[in-house]
Every structure is written in C-alpha cells, then in structure tokens.
C-alpha cells in the first residue's frame, strides 16, 4: 500500500460520505482506484491525536507502508496547531506526501509546510471561537431560564453497559464508539464503580 485516505467526523450524527466522495474524485482524477487504497475513518474529536483509525494510520506511516496521505481538509487531521505542525513535519521528514483535496494543496516542501501551519492555526482559532459561542449561548439560555443542563442523576448512555463491555475486554475507545459517547465519558463511568 502506498496511498492512505483519512476521514474524520466529530460526532455520530455526522456523515463521512461527503469526505469520501471528494477524496474519491481526487483519486480517480489522478488515476488511482478508490478501492485500491486503504481508508482510515474516525468518529472522534480533532482536539487530540489519540483516535483509533488515526493510530492505525500512524503505525502504517511508521512501518513505511504509506507514502501518500489524502485528506478532505487539513483540520480533519488535527484542530490543534502544535499537534498538526509537529505531525506534518514528522510525516514529511519520513518522505510522506500529504494532499488536502478541498484546499487543493500538496504539503510536500517548505511552502506546503508554511501553508499547513497557517491552516492549522485557523482551525485552532475556529475551535476556540466555537467554544466561546457555545458558552455565550448557554449563559443567555440560563439567564432566560431555558437551559438547565442535564438533569441530575442522568447519563448520556448506560454506565452498566459500559462496564459490561469493559468486562468483555473492549478498550475505552471501542466502548465509546459502541455507546455513542466520548472516551472521557466512558472513563467517568468507570471511575464511578
């Protein structure tokens, strides 16, 4: 394998289909069969790099089996400037070509790295702005008496089911995916044992 395609959405309600279609167009336009490449897909936040499919992609990069990584947008890799720049520099030093199809950039070379740094910085700022807007919206809703948060004693999912899956040998990331919650929530369920 030389080409890997990486797609990521943050929540279960989002679809990867659009990313796959755009990457598929790029592959077909460059003479690659979309069925002949390896796809890595995550339903995880971009705030950190510890994601199941992303970890498998990293292993493929380290083993030297991946020479080109194709992504829909640069923020699919990371929403943190430092993580993203460090990661891209590491990949480029290993001789891995990184192609971002919607932003029409190829990150091999010094100009590509500079453009990547700018785009990752914008992604991080976007993430911060989203948090600020959410906090402001919650504050207004609380003032109006509309927002009360989750009722005390309720959970996003079933903590007992999480414990069952843990007993069966599943990892926290797998349990989170199965229950449709974050790994942080799964760890909270475990700590309440």
Q: What is the pLDDT of residues 122-154, one digit of tens each?
A: 877 887 888 898 889 888 888 888 887 776 666
Instruction: Quickly state the pLDDT bin for 53 (edges 50, 70, 90).
Output: very high
CATH number at residue 76: 3.40.50.1390
Residues 99 and 168 grouped into a single domain? no
Share of the chain above pLDDT 70, in %: 93
* pTM tops 0.75, yes or no: no
pLDDT score of 65: 92
CA quadruple 118, 120, 123, 129: dihedral, nearest 10? -70
Residues 173 and 116 grouped into a single domain? no
Q: What is the pLDDT of residues 87-112, one digit of tens each?
A: 887 888 788 888 989 877 777 667 76
Residues 117 and 164 grouped into a single domain? no
Instruction: Quickly state the pLDDT bin for 85 (edges 50, 70, 90).
Output: confident
User: Containing domain of residue 41, as a range?
Assistant: 3-121
Pairing of strands 3-9, 68-71: parallel
Q: Total structural domains in the chain?
A: 2
Residues 88 and 173 grouped into a single domain? no
pLDDT score of 171: 85
Share of the chain above pLDDT 90, in %: 27
Residue 29 vs residue 154, higher pLDDT? 29
Sequence-separated (6 or more) residues with CB below 8 Å from residue 79: 45, 46, 47, 123, 124, 126, 127
pLDDT score of 23: 94
Q: Identify the three-state secondary structure at position 129.
A: helix
User: Does residue 9 sit within a domain?
Assistant: yes
């Amino acid at each position: 394998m030389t080409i890997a395609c990486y797609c990521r959405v943050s929540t279960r309600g989002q679809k990867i289909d659009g990313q796959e279609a755009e990457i598929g167009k790029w592959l077909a336009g460059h003479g690659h069969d979309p069925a002949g490449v390896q796809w890595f897909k995550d339903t995880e936040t971009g705030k950190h790099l510890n994601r199941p499919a992303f970890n498998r992609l990293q292993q493929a990069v380290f083993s030297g089996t991946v020479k080109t990584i194709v992504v829909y947008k640069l923020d699919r890799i990371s929403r943190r400037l430092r993580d993203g720049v460090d990661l891209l520099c590491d990949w480029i030093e290993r001789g891995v070509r990184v192609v971002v199809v919607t932003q029409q950039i190829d990150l091999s070379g010094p100009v590509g790295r500079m453009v990547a740094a700018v785009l990752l910085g914008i992604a991080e700022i976007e993430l911060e702005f989203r948090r600020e807007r959410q906090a402001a919206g919650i504050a207004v809703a609380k003032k109006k008496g509309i927002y009360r948060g989750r009722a005390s004693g309720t959970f996003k999912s079933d903590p007992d089911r999480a414990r069952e899956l843990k007993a069966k040998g599943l990892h926290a990331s797998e349990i989170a995916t199965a229950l449709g919650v974050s790994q942080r929530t799964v760890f909270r369920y475990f700590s309440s044992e």
